[in-house]
Chain A
Amino acid sequence: MALTTKYQALIDIAEASNIQDLQVVEQEGVLHIRGTAPNADVKNKLWDVYNQLDPNFLSGDVVMHVDVSTAVEGSRARVITQNSNLNIRKGPGTDQPIVGKAAKDEIIILISRANDQWWLVRTQDGEEGYCYAQYLEPVG
Protein backbone atom coordinates (compact mmCIF):
# COMPACT_ATOMS: atom_id res chain seq x y z
CA MET A 1 0.00 0.00 0.00
CA ALA A 2 1.32 3.42 -0.88
CA LEU A 3 2.29 5.51 2.13
CA THR A 4 0.13 8.38 0.93
CA THR A 5 -2.84 5.97 1.04
CA LYS A 6 -1.96 4.53 4.45
CA TYR A 7 -1.60 8.03 5.89
CA GLN A 8 -4.34 9.73 3.84
CA ALA A 9 -6.23 10.81 6.99
CA LEU A 10 -3.09 12.45 8.37
CA ILE A 11 -2.35 14.21 5.07
CA ASP A 12 -5.97 15.40 4.87
CA ILE A 13 -5.80 16.91 8.38
CA ALA A 14 -2.45 18.51 7.63
CA GLU A 15 -3.77 20.06 4.42
CA ALA A 16 -6.90 21.36 6.17
CA SER A 17 -5.03 22.88 9.12
CA ASN A 18 -3.46 26.04 7.67
CA ILE A 19 0.05 24.68 8.00
CA GLN A 20 2.61 27.01 6.49
CA ASP A 21 5.11 25.59 4.01
CA LEU A 22 3.51 22.17 4.26
CA GLN A 23 5.58 19.49 2.57
CA VAL A 24 4.37 15.91 2.20
CA VAL A 25 7.05 13.99 0.36
CA GLU A 26 7.70 10.29 0.04
CA GLN A 27 11.42 9.68 -0.08
CA GLU A 28 13.15 6.29 0.02
CA GLY A 29 10.17 4.53 1.57
CA VAL A 30 9.53 7.16 4.23
CA LEU A 31 6.79 9.79 4.18
CA HIS A 32 8.22 13.11 5.36
CA ILE A 33 5.73 15.65 6.67
CA ARG A 34 7.03 19.13 7.40
CA GLY A 35 5.63 22.54 8.04
CA THR A 36 4.71 25.09 10.66
CA ALA A 37 1.42 24.69 12.50
CA PRO A 38 -0.54 27.79 13.56
CA ASN A 39 -0.65 26.59 17.18
CA ALA A 40 0.25 23.73 19.51
CA ASP A 41 -3.28 22.24 19.32
CA VAL A 42 -2.90 21.61 15.58
CA LYS A 43 0.48 19.97 16.10
CA ASN A 44 -0.92 17.75 18.86
CA LYS A 45 -3.90 16.80 16.69
CA LEU A 46 -1.55 15.70 13.89
CA TRP A 47 0.37 13.50 16.32
CA ASP A 48 -2.87 11.99 17.63
CA VAL A 49 -3.95 11.05 14.11
CA TYR A 50 -0.50 9.70 13.27
CA ASN A 51 -0.60 7.55 16.43
CA GLN A 52 -4.02 6.21 15.46
CA LEU A 53 -2.85 5.20 11.99
CA ASP A 54 0.43 3.71 13.24
CA PRO A 55 0.11 2.83 16.94
CA ASN A 56 3.26 3.79 18.88
CA PHE A 57 4.88 4.84 15.57
CA LEU A 58 6.44 1.42 15.20
CA SER A 59 6.35 1.19 11.38
CA GLY A 60 9.03 3.84 11.01
CA ASP A 61 7.62 4.92 7.65
CA VAL A 62 6.85 8.53 8.63
CA VAL A 63 9.09 11.33 9.84
CA MET A 64 6.92 14.25 10.97
CA HIS A 65 8.59 17.53 11.82
CA VAL A 66 5.96 20.15 12.50
CA ASP A 67 6.92 23.32 14.33
CA VAL A 68 4.50 25.77 15.91
CA SER A 69 4.45 29.29 14.47
CA THR A 70 3.67 30.94 17.82
CA ALA A 71 7.09 29.82 19.01
CA VAL A 72 8.65 33.20 18.23
CA GLU A 73 11.07 35.42 20.06
CA GLY A 74 9.47 37.24 22.96
CA SER A 75 6.52 34.86 23.28
CA ARG A 76 5.70 32.64 26.21
CA ALA A 77 5.91 28.90 26.44
CA ARG A 78 4.86 26.25 28.92
CA VAL A 79 7.29 23.65 30.24
CA ILE A 80 5.90 20.26 29.18
CA THR A 81 8.27 17.81 30.79
CA GLN A 82 6.82 14.51 31.99
CA ASN A 83 7.23 15.09 35.74
CA SER A 84 10.65 16.51 36.31
CA ASN A 85 12.05 20.02 36.15
CA LEU A 86 13.47 21.26 32.88
CA ASN A 87 17.19 21.92 32.94
CA ILE A 88 18.36 25.33 31.86
CA ARG A 89 21.89 25.18 30.56
CA LYS A 90 24.74 27.58 29.91
CA GLY A 91 24.88 26.67 26.23
CA PRO A 92 22.86 24.71 23.65
CA GLY A 93 23.85 21.10 24.42
CA THR A 94 23.35 18.52 27.14
CA ASP A 95 27.11 18.63 27.71
CA GLN A 96 26.71 22.21 28.95
CA PRO A 97 26.54 22.93 32.69
CA ILE A 98 23.10 23.38 34.26
CA VAL A 99 22.53 26.97 35.35
CA GLY A 100 18.91 26.69 36.48
CA LYS A 101 15.68 24.72 36.37
CA ALA A 102 12.11 25.41 35.29
CA ALA A 103 9.25 23.48 36.87
CA LYS A 104 6.76 21.40 34.88
CA ASP A 105 3.92 23.68 33.65
CA GLU A 106 5.94 26.82 34.44
CA ILE A 107 5.55 29.61 31.88
CA ILE A 108 8.82 30.99 30.57
CA ILE A 109 9.83 33.58 27.97
CA LEU A 110 11.45 32.56 24.66
CA ILE A 111 14.35 34.93 24.01
CA SER A 112 15.95 33.54 20.86
CA ARG A 113 16.25 30.26 19.03
CA ALA A 114 19.78 28.85 19.01
CA ASN A 115 18.93 26.09 16.55
CA ASP A 116 16.20 23.54 15.81
CA GLN A 117 16.74 21.90 19.18
CA TRP A 118 17.54 24.71 21.62
CA TRP A 119 15.89 27.93 22.79
CA LEU A 120 17.51 30.64 24.86
CA VAL A 121 14.88 31.36 27.55
CA ARG A 122 14.23 33.41 30.66
CA THR A 123 12.36 32.00 33.64
CA GLN A 124 9.98 33.86 35.94
CA ASP A 125 12.85 34.10 38.43
CA GLY A 126 14.92 35.90 35.82
CA GLU A 127 17.28 32.99 35.13
CA GLU A 128 18.52 32.85 31.55
CA GLY A 129 19.88 29.88 29.65
CA TYR A 130 19.22 27.24 27.06
CA CYS A 131 16.33 24.72 27.10
CA TYR A 132 15.55 21.78 24.86
CA ALA A 133 12.82 22.98 22.44
CA GLN A 134 10.88 19.72 22.58
CA TYR A 135 9.86 20.43 26.18
CA LEU A 136 8.44 23.87 25.45
CA GLU A 137 4.90 24.36 24.16
CA PRO A 138 4.05 27.87 22.96
CA VAL A 139 1.03 29.42 24.65
CA GLY A 140 -1.40 32.00 23.27
Chain B
Amino acid sequence: MTMTLKNVISVLAISCSLAIATVSCKSKVSDADLKSRIESIVTSTPGVTVDVKEGVVTLSGTVNSEAEREAIENSAKAVDSKNIKSVVNNITVNAPTVEINTDDADLAAKVVDATKDFPTVKATVKDGIITVTGTLEQSRVQVLKQSLDALSPKKVDIAAIEIK
Protein backbone atom coordinates (compact mmCIF):
# COMPACT_ATOMS: atom_id res chain seq x y z
CA MET B 1 0.00 0.00 0.00
CA THR B 2 2.82 2.36 1.00
CA MET B 3 4.81 1.39 -2.10
CA THR B 4 1.85 1.92 -4.37
CA LEU B 5 1.29 5.42 -3.02
CA LYS B 6 5.00 6.21 -3.46
CA ASN B 7 4.79 4.94 -7.03
CA VAL B 8 1.79 7.04 -7.75
CA ILE B 9 3.52 10.10 -6.35
CA SER B 10 6.68 9.57 -8.38
CA VAL B 11 4.71 8.92 -11.55
CA LEU B 12 2.80 12.10 -10.91
CA ALA B 13 6.02 13.97 -10.23
CA ILE B 14 7.61 12.75 -13.44
CA SER B 15 4.59 13.52 -15.57
CA CYS B 16 4.35 16.93 -13.95
CA SER B 17 7.95 17.83 -14.72
CA LEU B 18 7.54 16.41 -18.23
CA ALA B 19 4.47 18.57 -18.72
CA ILE B 20 6.34 21.65 -17.51
CA ALA B 21 9.35 20.82 -19.68
CA THR B 22 7.13 20.33 -22.72
CA VAL B 23 5.33 23.64 -22.15
CA SER B 24 8.47 25.65 -21.54
CA CYS B 25 10.22 23.96 -24.43
CA LYS B 26 7.31 24.70 -26.75
CA SER B 27 7.03 28.34 -25.56
CA LYS B 28 10.75 28.91 -26.04
CA VAL B 29 10.40 28.30 -29.75
CA SER B 30 7.41 30.55 -30.12
CA ASP B 31 8.98 33.19 -27.86
CA ALA B 32 11.89 33.52 -30.25
CA ASP B 33 9.50 33.52 -33.16
CA LEU B 34 7.32 36.20 -31.55
CA LYS B 35 10.38 38.27 -30.70
CA SER B 36 11.63 38.33 -34.28
CA ARG B 37 8.18 39.05 -35.68
CA ILE B 38 7.62 41.96 -33.26
CA GLU B 39 11.13 43.25 -33.87
CA SER B 40 10.47 43.40 -37.60
CA ILE B 41 7.49 45.67 -36.85
CA VAL B 42 9.21 48.03 -34.38
CA THR B 43 12.63 48.34 -36.02
CA SER B 44 11.39 51.53 -37.66
CA THR B 45 11.79 53.10 -34.22
CA PRO B 46 15.44 53.14 -33.22
CA GLY B 47 16.13 52.69 -29.54
CA VAL B 48 13.25 50.30 -28.85
CA THR B 49 14.04 46.72 -27.90
CA VAL B 50 11.80 43.68 -27.63
CA ASP B 51 11.96 40.78 -25.22
CA VAL B 52 9.55 37.83 -25.03
CA LYS B 53 9.30 35.36 -22.18
CA GLU B 54 6.59 32.73 -22.09
CA GLY B 55 4.34 34.80 -24.27
CA VAL B 56 4.83 37.99 -22.26
CA VAL B 57 6.27 40.75 -24.42
CA THR B 58 8.42 43.43 -22.80
CA LEU B 59 9.12 46.61 -24.73
CA SER B 60 11.98 48.89 -23.62
CA GLY B 61 13.76 51.99 -24.85
CA THR B 62 12.86 55.63 -25.43
CA VAL B 63 10.66 57.47 -27.91
CA ASN B 64 9.77 61.11 -28.42
CA SER B 65 6.03 61.07 -27.72
CA GLU B 66 3.34 59.28 -25.77
CA ALA B 67 1.49 58.65 -29.04
CA GLU B 68 4.52 56.84 -30.44
CA ARG B 69 4.83 54.81 -27.23
CA GLU B 70 1.20 53.66 -27.48
CA ALA B 71 1.41 52.99 -31.20
CA ILE B 72 4.35 50.63 -30.70
CA GLU B 73 2.50 48.76 -27.94
CA ASN B 74 -0.56 48.36 -30.14
CA SER B 75 1.37 47.16 -33.17
CA ALA B 76 3.28 44.68 -30.99
CA LYS B 77 0.00 43.28 -29.64
CA ALA B 78 -1.40 42.99 -33.15
CA VAL B 79 1.46 40.76 -34.33
CA ASP B 80 -0.08 37.63 -32.77
CA SER B 81 -2.99 38.23 -30.44
CA LYS B 82 -3.35 34.47 -29.81
CA ASN B 83 0.14 33.76 -28.53
CA ILE B 84 0.97 37.07 -26.89
CA LYS B 85 -0.26 36.81 -23.33
CA SER B 86 0.41 40.41 -22.44
CA VAL B 87 2.62 43.38 -23.32
CA VAL B 88 4.68 45.12 -20.66
CA ASN B 89 5.39 48.59 -22.01
CA ASN B 90 8.57 49.89 -20.36
CA ILE B 91 9.22 52.44 -23.10
CA THR B 92 9.89 55.89 -21.70
CA VAL B 93 9.05 59.16 -23.40
CA ASN B 94 11.86 61.70 -23.79
CA ALA B 95 10.84 65.04 -22.30
CA PRO B 96 10.70 67.38 -25.28
CA THR B 97 12.74 70.56 -25.05
CA VAL B 98 12.79 73.85 -26.92
CA GLU B 99 15.93 75.77 -27.77
CA ILE B 100 16.36 78.82 -25.60
CA ASN B 101 18.74 81.70 -26.10
CA THR B 102 20.82 81.63 -22.93
CA ASP B 103 23.53 83.91 -24.30
CA ASP B 104 22.77 87.03 -22.23
CA ALA B 105 25.02 89.30 -24.32
CA ASP B 106 23.34 88.24 -27.57
CA LEU B 107 19.90 88.46 -26.01
CA ALA B 108 20.61 91.90 -24.54
CA ALA B 109 21.69 93.21 -27.94
CA LYS B 110 18.45 91.90 -29.50
CA VAL B 111 16.40 93.37 -26.66
CA VAL B 112 17.82 96.80 -27.50
CA ASP B 113 16.39 96.48 -31.03
CA ALA B 114 13.10 95.05 -29.80
CA THR B 115 12.49 97.83 -27.29
CA LYS B 116 13.81 100.74 -29.35
CA ASP B 117 10.28 102.00 -30.03
CA PHE B 118 9.32 101.72 -26.35
CA PRO B 119 11.21 104.62 -24.75
CA THR B 120 9.12 104.51 -21.56
CA VAL B 121 10.29 101.03 -20.58
CA LYS B 122 13.61 99.62 -19.51
CA ALA B 123 14.55 95.99 -20.17
CA THR B 124 17.32 93.99 -18.55
CA VAL B 125 18.58 90.49 -19.29
CA LYS B 126 19.89 88.02 -16.77
CA ASP B 127 20.21 84.25 -17.07
CA GLY B 128 18.05 84.24 -20.20
CA ILE B 129 15.23 86.09 -18.44
CA ILE B 130 14.09 89.45 -19.83
CA THR B 131 12.71 91.74 -17.11
CA VAL B 132 10.90 94.90 -18.13
CA THR B 133 10.04 97.90 -15.97
CA GLY B 134 8.56 101.33 -16.66
CA THR B 135 5.21 102.51 -17.97
CA LEU B 136 3.35 101.54 -21.12
CA GLU B 137 -0.01 102.18 -22.76
CA GLN B 138 -2.23 99.11 -22.64
CA SER B 139 -2.54 99.01 -26.44
CA ARG B 140 1.20 98.50 -26.82
CA VAL B 141 1.72 95.72 -24.27
CA GLN B 142 1.03 92.92 -26.74
CA VAL B 143 3.44 94.28 -29.36
CA LEU B 144 6.18 94.51 -26.75
CA LYS B 145 5.52 91.00 -25.47
CA GLN B 146 5.48 89.60 -29.04
CA SER B 147 8.79 91.29 -29.82
CA LEU B 148 10.44 89.92 -26.70
CA ASP B 149 8.97 86.39 -26.99
CA ALA B 150 10.33 86.24 -30.55
CA LEU B 151 13.86 86.36 -29.13
CA SER B 152 13.43 82.87 -27.57
CA PRO B 153 14.27 83.85 -23.99
CA LYS B 154 13.76 81.60 -20.99
CA LYS B 155 11.11 83.95 -19.62
CA VAL B 156 9.68 87.42 -20.18
CA ASP B 157 8.75 89.18 -16.96
CA ILE B 158 6.70 92.33 -17.52
CA ALA B 159 4.80 92.17 -14.23
CA ALA B 160 6.50 95.34 -12.96
CA ILE B 161 5.29 97.49 -15.88
CA GLU B 162 2.78 100.13 -14.91
CA ILE B 163 0.06 99.90 -17.54
CA LYS B 164 -1.68 103.16 -18.42
Question: A-contacting residues of B (Cβ < 8 Å)?
Answer: 96-98, 100, 110, 112-114, 116-117, 138-143, 145-147, 149-159, 161, 163
Chain B, residue nearest A63 (CB): B149
Residue of B97, B142, B157, B161 touching A25 (CB-CB under 8 A): B97
Q: Is A94 an interface residue (CB 8 A)?
A: yes
Residue of A23, A64, A82 touching B140 (CB-CB under 8 A): A82
Which 7 residue pairs spanning A and B have beta carbons closest together? A60-B157, A32-B98, A94-B116, A57-B145, A134-B147, A94-B113, A58-B159
Q: Is A4 an interface residue (CB 8 A)?
A: no
With contacts defined as CB atoms under 8 Å apart, how many contacts are there between chain A and chain B in the complex?
A: 78
Tell me the interface secondary structure of chain A in the complex. Answer: mixed
27 A-B pairs with C-beta separation under 8 A: A25-B96, A27-B97, A27-B98, A27-B154, A29-B155, A30-B155, A32-B98, A47-B142, A47-B146, A51-B142, A56-B158, A60-B159, A63-B149, A63-B154, A64-B146, A65-B149, A65-B152, A81-B117, A82-B117, A82-B140, A84-B117, A93-B113, A116-B150, A116-B151, A116-B152, A132-B116, A132-B147
Tell me the interface secondary structure of chain B in the complex. Answer: mixed
Residues on A with beta carbons closer than 8 Å to the beta carbon of B110: 117
Interface string of A24-64 (1 = CB under 8 A from B): 01011110101000000000000100010000111111011
